Structure 1
Amino acid sequence: MSKKIRIILAEDEPALAQIIKESLETRNFEVILCKDGEEAFDAFKNEKIELVVLDVMMPKKDGFSVAKDIRKLDNKIPIVFLTAKSQTQDVVDGFNFGGNDYLKKPFSMEELIVRIHSLLGRKINLKNDENILIGNYVFNLTKQTLHCSEAIISLTHREAVLLDLLSENKNKIVNRSLILNKIWGNDDFFTGRSMDVFITKLRKKLSLDPNIQIINVRGQGCKLIC
């Protein structure tokens, strides 16, 4: 497995922070999550990281202030701002305080990942926005949706990545350890239990087509049959 990219994510909205963190972790990032500006700056001083993602509006210390303090210690590390602000002056301020990129909410995870890799000088291959047929369903990884007849079913990012991996190996056993390491980052007991929960959720979302099954193969892994 390739070396994980260590980043700081400072975001004070718990739900959004968790979504971003989990999405990045499925793409080979190690995320240090901070709930306010002071915590983010402390993490920066104490951890070896490659990039910083800062929400602008945070308690204790806002993102611009954190960036200003970081730049006193390091003028090279990439900094990405996340904000709901849309005024041109806010964007200008972001760059003036040392930011390298600026993403306005709401944004897609694919866009954030592309920008991060661009700042790090790395290439990333993203799938085209194409539809994949799974039985009577049409699966779109980019949009994280399943269509069946008139039904449109939304998937979480991790559900979509898991289904994509299973569909790439349709009717073949996918090793359990491979799934856990690729999507969760390790294959310990707790991530194994989490994977079982996600498999159960996918079974329910695919239940409109009785010919589709996700089966567990004891001691090996699981298989998408359709």
Structure 2
Amino acid sequence: MKILLVEDDPNLGGLLQEYLTHKGYPTDLATDGQQGWQAFVDNEYDLCIFDVMMPRKDGFSLAKEVRMSGKDVPIIFLTAKSMKEDTIQGFRIGGDDYVTKPFDQDELLLRIEAILRRYRRQPGNGAADSAVDTHIYQVGSYTFDYDHQQLRRAGDTTRLTSKESELLKLFCQNLNQPISRSYALKMIWGDDSYFNARSMDVYVTKLRKHLREDPDVQLMNLHGEGFKLMSS
């Protein structure tokens, strides 16, 4: 597993690079957003860690370019800010986690490992493609292929992110049944913290957009309870 770390503070960047490499995650360090983009283009990474406030290109702009590249690579944002708006913006861009400075290196490592576990199923990685037991779900006129992270309908195929796939699988496994917010958060994000809850709301909104072509399929909010995926 190789990591791209983009951090403009050379002291923090150097310490994190040494720590992560020592823990078994070889890490490349870039000191500004433009340098980070070039490294991303030139190499293959399993996870990215972006500081938000950086010269030449900020972390959010860098993350947008990464998402537009079509590569489904998990992203963790590092920031000295604690504004809720910044956190929400990071999740909307497609970030997987958000760590506010100062932070404990061991906590960051645990977050990295949790995210990488969620990204364990990728098309072409061998494990999913060679599996005998596939996970195919029918929801209305949609066919959801969990192993290949694809949602198909009437000849059209939508490529889902890992988090979208995990969340949709959970809803499919409980079709027409309510799921509490806390349960969904603990199953997919590991805990039901405020920031994870806001992240989940972003992904629920994305799933609704993916499923909007079939009026018989509804992903409902249950006030004070959670969610329910309905299909007649």
Is 2:138 the counterpart of 1:142?
A: no
Structure 2 CA distance for partners of 1:199 and 1:39, relative to 1, 3 Å: same
Structure 2 CA distance for partners of 1:213 and 1:206, relative to 1, 3 Å: same
Alignment of 1:1-226 (within 5 A): 10-12=2-4, 39-43=16-20, 52-54=24-26, 58-59=28-29, 109-110=120-121, 128-226=133-231
Q: Indicate conservation of the 8 Å contact 1:170/1:224, yes or no.
A: yes
Give 1:38 shift.
Answer: 5.4
Higher radius of gyration, 1 or 2? 1
| Count of aligned pairs | 135
State the secondary structure of the residue aligned to 2:192.
Answer: coil
Q: Indicate conservation of the 8 Å contact 2:17/2:29, yes or no.
A: no
Structure 2 CA distance for partners of 1:127 and 1:197, relative to 1, 3 Å: farther
Give 1:127 shift.
Answer: 8.5
Q: Which amino acid aligns with 1:185?
A: G
Deviations 1:26-75 (A, max 9, x none): xxxxxxxxx97752333577xxxxx62325xx349xxxxxxxxxxxxxxx
Percent identical among aligned pairs is 31
2:132 & 2:176 partners in 1: Cα distance? Answer: 22
Structure 2 CA distance for partners of 1:11 and 1:148, relative to 1, 3 Å: same
1:198 & 1:145 partners in 2: Cα distance? Answer: 15
Structure 2 CA distance for partners of 1:10 and 1:36, relative to 1, 3 Å: farther
1:109 & 1:36 partners in 2: Cα distance? Answer: 26
Deviations 1:130-181 (A, max 9, x none): 3211110110111111000021111110000000000000000011101011
Larger RCO, structure (CA 8 Å, separation 6 or more) = 1
Structure 2 CA distance for partners of 1:130 and 1:190, relative to 1, 3 Å: closer
Q: Which amino acid aligns with 2:195?
A: F
RMSD between aligned alpha carbons?
3.2
1:110 & 1:201 partners in 2: Cα distance? Answer: 20
Q: Indicate conservation of the 8 Å contact 2:222/2:228, yes or no.
A: yes
1:162 & 1:216 partners in 2: Cα distance? Answer: 14
Q: Indicate conservation of the 8 Å contact 1:146/1:155, yes or no.
A: yes
Structure 1 gap ranges (5+):
1-8, 15-34, 46-50, 61-82, 85-107, 116-125
